[in-house]
Structure 1
Amino acid sequence: MPVVHDIPLSLKSGEVLRREGFMGYSKVRPEIRILIRELLAIVQKAHLLEPAIAYEIYTIIEIRQRQLFLAGKPLIPDLSLPSLLPQAKELAVAVCTIGPRLEKQVTDYTSQGEPLRGMLLDGIGSAAVDSLMEEACKLITSEALSRGYEASSPISPGMLGLPITEQWQLLKLVPAQEIGVSLTSAGIMVPRKSVSLVIGIGPRMAKWTRAEVCARCHLKKTCPYRISA
């Protein structure tokens, strides 16, 4: 089961600001912009990001109604994935994390009476996870192309077609422990700045933009992190 470390991440200002809940750069006060740049420099200098990806690609041996049967593994039941990925021949499952260091620094800032720094650094961490997820998609897409296939857009627990309750199942399908990722009894990923996803691999795979995902979400009108088309 492949595990990848030392992945370069691109932290774009627009993505960082979106993850801070700011919808437009012009609306951000100059002192906040300066502080974000300062924190980005600290992230790099202190090596607060430890990006890692654990993934596996399984052959789909059968798609039956709302069930996926994977070679060598238990079926994945009660999902809408078959309808979203009807042409899939394989299913890639991945877990990504930026590690615990940034999260610890957020806690330290907050406990030291610097909640603004903590909040902004937390947003930087979320943007880093988004960037890491994109790198995981590129990696899996490259493997799909080497097989003569396409890769679908990613689906994460909580999105349409993959209930959050399936988080337990997904972490059993990849060596998450090798990159230090686990689940609490409540199903929360640890480190908190982690994400899991599945990608369909096959001859004609469905793709959608992040804006289209936001448009289908029930929080689309109020979410401060939404992406507009």
Structure 2
Amino acid sequence: MPIIRDIPLSLKTREVLRREGFGGHSKVRPEIKSLVLELLASVKKAHLLEPAVAYEIYTITEMSHRQLSLEGDLVVQGPLLPSLLPKAKELAVVVCTIGPRLEKQVTDYINRDEPLRGLLLDGIGSAAVDSLTQEVCKFMAGEASSRGYQASSPISPGMPGLPITEQWRLLEMVPAREIGASLTPLAIMSPRKSTSMVMGLGPQMTRWTGAEVCAHCSLRKTCPYRIPA
């Protein structure tokens, strides 16, 4: 089962600020922007990001309106995948993480009574996961192309129609522990700055933007992190 490490990430200030809950630069005080830039530099200098990806691509053997059946007698439950990926021939299962170092530094800032630094660094971590997800999508597009297919946009447990409990199944389908990723008893990923996803591979795969995902989210009216259309 493949593992990818040392993935270059692009952290744009705009995306970092969105992950801090700011909708745009005009809403941010100059001292906050300055601190974000300082923290971004410290993240790079201290090598706080250790991005890693574990994945596997499975052949889809059967599809019903409630689940996907995969080679090896594996099943992914939930109506979302069949509805979005009716033409998929294969399913890429992916777990990715930026590692624990940034999270430990956030905790250190909090313990040192520097909550603002901790909060802003946490937002940088979230933006790093977003960037890692984008890199995974590019990689999977290449994998799909080599098969004569297209790759769908990513779908993660917790989206309506794909229960969060399916994370247990996904982490068993890839070498997640080899990149240090696991789940708490409440199905929360550890390190926290990690994510799991699936992508359909096949002809004429459906794709959508992050803004479209946010537009269909039940928290779209109040979420400070939503991506504007």
The corresponding residue for 2:194 is 194
Query: CA separation in 1, counterparts of 2:110 and 2:67?
Result: 45
Aligned AA for 2:11? L
The corresponding residue for 1:208 is 208
Query: How far did residue 42 of structure 1 move?
Result: 0.4
Q: How many residue pairs end up in the alignment? A: 229
Query: CA separation in 1, counterparts of 2:200 and 2:77?
Result: 16
The corresponding residue for 1:137 is 137
Query: How far did residue 75 of structure 1 move?
Result: 1.4
Secondary structure at 1:55 match in 2: strand
Show CA shifts across 1:90-144 (max 9, x none).
0000001000000000000000010000000000000000000111111111000
- Asked whether the 8 Å contact 1:2–1:55 carries over to 2, the reply is yes
Show CA shifts across 1:147-205 (max 9, x none).
00000010011113312121111111111001000111111111000000000000110
Aligned AA for 1:188? I
Matched, 1:16 2:16: yes
Identity of aligned pairs, percent? 71
- Asked whether the 8 Å contact 1:150–1:205 carries over to 2, the reply is yes
Matched, 1:104 2:104: yes
The corresponding residue for 2:167 is 167
Query: How far did residue 73 of structure 1 move?
Result: 3.8
Q: CA RMSD in A?
A: 0.8
Query: How far did residue 45 of structure 1 move?
Result: 0.4
- Asked whether the 8 Å contact 2:65–2:79 carries over to 1, the reply is no
The runs of at least 4 aligned residues of structure 1 exceeding 3 Å deviation read none
Query: CA separation in 2, counterparts of 1:25 and 1:14?
Result: 7
Show CA shifts across 1:15-44 (max 9, x none).
000000000101110100110000001000
The corresponding residue for 2:180 is 180
The corresponding residue for 2:46 is 46
Where does structure 2 lack aligned partners over 5 or more consecutive residues? none
The corresponding residue for 2:115 is 115
Query: How far did residue 83 of structure 1 move?
Result: 1.1
Secondary structure at 1:121 match in 2: helix
- Asked whether the 8 Å contact 1:157–1:164 carries over to 2, the reply is yes
Where does structure 1 lack aligned partners over 5 or more consecutive residues? none
Secondary structure at 1:119 match in 2: helix
Report the CA distance shift for 1:73/1:53 in structure 2 as closer, same or farther (over 3 A). farther
The corresponding residue for 1:29 is 29
Query: CA separation in 2, counterparts of 1:73 and 1:185?
Result: 25
Secondary structure at 1:17 match in 2: helix
Query: CA separation in 1, counterparts of 2:140 and 2:83?
Result: 21
Query: How far did residue 65 of structure 1 move?
Result: 2.5
Query: How far did residue 79 of structure 1 move?
Result: 3.0
Query: CA separation in 2, counterparts of 1:224 and 1:66?
Result: 32
